């Protein structure tokens, strides 16, 4: 059995959250919900419009790739970011989101082993949070 856990970021800190239950707090916030090390549901609510759900890892079929919405959330929490930083962050976010084939990537020269972050959703989630400039919940890096 893999890792499971849900965490809510309120703009200042992470708190443990009940899996599958949305918080009743003021926006903006971001919630990560890791499902048995297979995939992570990212639910985000910026202040105003742009709320959505995205997936990391081997997401359920039909999962939406919400790079536009996530970059809007990021931009609303990083108001000093300029247009070039916005575009760069959008590309970076899109690279993390689930792909259609849902398979781990093996790169030439890596001994035939996939990157652990492509196999374990909690590792991919930790890298994704670092890319957003957010702290990582301690449980994701243990």
Residue with tokens 């890792």: 3
Q: What confidence tier does 29 reach under pLDDT thresholds 50, 70, 90?
A: very high
Question: Average of pLDDT values for 62-87?
Answer: 74
The number of distinct structural domains making up the chain is 1
In a domain, 103, yes or no: no
Residue 104 has pLDDT above 90, yes or no: no
In a domain, 104, yes or no: no
52-57: strand order across its sheet: 14-17, 5-9, 29-35, 39-45, 52-57
Of 100, 98, 107, 70, give the one whose Cα is nearest residue 86: 70
Which domain covers residue 38, as residue numbers? 5-98+110-137
pLDDT computed for residue 40 by the predictor: 92
Residue 132 makes CB contacts below 8 A (sequence gap 6+) with: 74, 93
pLDDT computed for residue 110 by the predictor: 53
Q: What confidence tier does 10 reach under pLDDT thresholds 50, 70, 90?
A: very high
In a domain, 49, yes or no: yes
């Amino acid at each position: 059995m893999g890792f499971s856990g849900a965490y809510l970021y309120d703009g200042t800190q992470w708190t443990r959250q009940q899996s599958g239950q949305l918080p009743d707090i003021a926006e903006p916030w971001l919630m990560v919900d890791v499902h048995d090390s297979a995939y992570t549901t990212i639910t985000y609510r910026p202040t105003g419009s742009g709320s959505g759900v995205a997936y990391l890892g081997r997401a359920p079929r039909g999962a939406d790739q919400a790079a536009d919405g996530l970059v809007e959330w990021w931009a609303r929490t990083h108001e000093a970011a300029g247009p070039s930083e916005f575009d760069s962050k959008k590309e970076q976010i899109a690279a993390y989101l689930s792909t259609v084939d849902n398979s781990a990537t093996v790169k030439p020269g890596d001994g035939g082993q996939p990157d652990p972050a492509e196999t374990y959703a909690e590792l991919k989630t930790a890298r994704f949070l670092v890319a957003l400039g957010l702290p990582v919940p301690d449980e994701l890096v243990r």
